[in-house]
Amino acid sequence: MEKISAKLINWASILEQGTRVQAVTTATMPFIHPHVALMPDAHLGLGATVGSVIPTLGAIMPAAVGVDIGCGMIAVRTQYTRDQLPADRRPLREAIERAIPLSAGAQNRKVSREHTSERLEQLTGEAERTGFDPATYAKRWELQLGTLGSGNHFIEVTVDELDRVWLFLHSGSRGVGNKIAQKHIRVARDLCEKRWIELPDRDLAYLTEDTDEFWEYIGQMRWAQSYALLNREEMMDRVVRQFSEWVQGDVERQDEINCHHNYTEQETHFGKQVWLSRKGAINAELGRPGLIPGSMGTASYVVAGKGNPVSLNSAPHGAGREYSRSRARRTFTREQLREAMAGIEYRDTDAFIDEIPAAYKNIDRVMADAADLVEVRHTLRQIVNVKGD
């Protein structure tokens, strides 16, 4: 842990200078209480650093929550062990790819399953109570429930240190959550301009509790968080179904964890109730289960929080990028990706070069930095990986 200033505490032993400057800038905002906590996987983001925990009094910066509102992880431990699985894993990967639309903009052809309809009814009711129509942001929002997206979103079949099989995936609120975030970032910028507020970065524009715009954002953000949570549940139901058909047996969900890492909640820290924005960080209250993924080809972790008050009860959300996507494409090759993915069933394509493990921080280094934030319960290593282009 490094105290960069009274308002910025850092857990990242690998911290690029631009990221450090960005975090310092965020920590200067007048409503921060008591300080910004920078996680071990911190890297440059829009306005606020990805991998930062930002507590605010009476105000919120939409860009400090992020554009993929509610992005997070879900994992299910099954009763199966590695030696009970069929030898050929390709049919499972292809079955998952058929059941779950992949890539940016992908959608289902129709809503056909009862559990999908029930989740959509829940989301429709929540939107009506909040007082908005999600279709004003994304007309296809209903057809995108149960879709993965692209980038670092993934679906994996993994095994833990006892060779028990876990199903594991990472995704968020898809197009509708992104549009909600972008709209309110613009609204915050406009309001700051109208009030002649000078900002160190226009993406640190904020909304204050005394405005209707603030509460409109809170309501719609919370809805997007629900969407992301249910989106992961929906995809996991489909993964379980495809896995069950592959092993020709029922699946017992012996453990299940579903957690956000891009979101805001009201919490009490250092004597005051704050809006705590975790932008690329998980809740690590004492004993709370959480998920910290590595990159494709590296380990992921099931953890329990240690309740570190200085970190604002938070922990990292993954490996964190060291190379931008464009730099990774210039630096690495498809053959290097194949070497990194040896022994893992995945779709062999140039599209994933920018997701090569070498483009990310070493997950073991990140976990070492997080030693006073979480306790590792299980180490997961993938045997099947599914991603969108």
So which residues are the catalytic ones?
317
Is residue 280 within 8 Å of 262, Cβ to Cβ? yes
- Classify 114 as helix, strand or coil: helix
Is residue 374 within 8 Å of 305, Cβ to Cβ? yes
Buried b (16+ CB within 10 A) or exposed e, 94-120: ebbbebbbbeeebbbeeeeeeebeebb
Is residue 320 within 8 Å of 50, Cβ to Cβ? yes
For residue 274, the 8-state DSSP code is E
Sheet holding 8-10, edge to edge: 2-5, 8-10, 36-43, 50-56, 272-279, 262-269
Cα separations (Å) of 240 from 76, 149, 237? Answer: 9, 19, 5
Provide the CB-side half-sphere exposure for 224 (13 A, CA): 35
Per-residue DSSP letters for 279-324?
A: ESEEE--TT-EEEE---TTS-EEEEEE---TTTTSEEE-S--BSS-
